[in-house]
Amino acid sequence: MIKILQEVANDFNEIEVLLDLTFGLGRNALSSYRYRDGVSSISELCFVLRDEFDVLVGVIRFWPILIGFQRSPGLLLGPLGIHPTRQGEGLGEALIRRGLKKANKSGWSRVLLVGDDSYYGRFGFSKNIVKNIYFKNNLSSDRLLGIELSSRSMAGIKGPLFNFLIDF
């Protein structure tokens, strides 16, 4: 039986090992990590999946970001990591749905991520929602996706993404 639990400090080392296994040792060099530099994740929106043997098999995290020239508050979803031997079982879907539901209940109205439209589209993420949003420093925005947790929360937002602390 799989359990979804709120991430706690003692999960940190296991999460790092899982994310290295899932994304490779160079994952911290990815552009999306620049928006997490110096920023704490939103702890109430970070979850882990543990199997019946208490082995960590999945993780999802959300980070605060500022979106567009208006610097509208939003969330950056990621990383979402599922152990390679457990992929294809719907575990990522369970984490995404739990995280988005909790984010909405917590008053967040918009979520962005860097990922594949073919996977995240089924949850409502779209390139069209972020067509006027882009990464600073000429980083490619081709894989940027977004979802509105409240109707029209992305309407009129244009411009780059900002790190919540560094660019505040």
The pLDDT of residue 36: 81
Assign residue 156 a region (left: φ > 0; alpha: ψ between -120 and 50; beta: otherwise). left
How many other CB atoms are there within 10 angstroms of residue 109's CB atom?
Answer: 18
The pLDDT of residue 139: 64
Distance separating alpha carbons of residues 139 and 135, to the nearest angstrom? 6
DSSP state of 142: T
For the chain, list the domains and their CATH numbers. 3-163 (3.40.630.30)
Query: How many Cα atoms sit within 13 Å of 42 on the Cβ side?
Result: 22
**Bridge-partner residues for 77, per DSSP?**
62, 113
Q: What does residue 90 show for φ and ψ, rounded to 5 degrees?
A: 85, 10
Alpha carbon 11 to chain centroid, angstroms: 18
Place of tokens 């979850």: 47
Q: What is the chain's pLDDT, residue by residue, as a tens digit (168 residues)?
A: 899 999 999 999 999 999 999 988 877 666 666 778 889 999 999 999 999 999 999 999 999 999 999 999 999 999 999 999 999 999 999 999 999 999 999 999 999 999 999 999 999 999 999 999 998 875 668 899 999 999 999 999 999 999 887 665
The pLDDT of residue 29: 62
Q: What does residue 165 show for φ and ψ, rounded to 5 degrees?
A: -100, -45
Q: Is the pTM of this model over 0.85?
A: yes
Per-residue H/E/C for 57-74: EEEEEEEEEEECCCCEEE
**Nearest residue to 84 (alpha-carbon basis) of 17, 2, 145:** 17
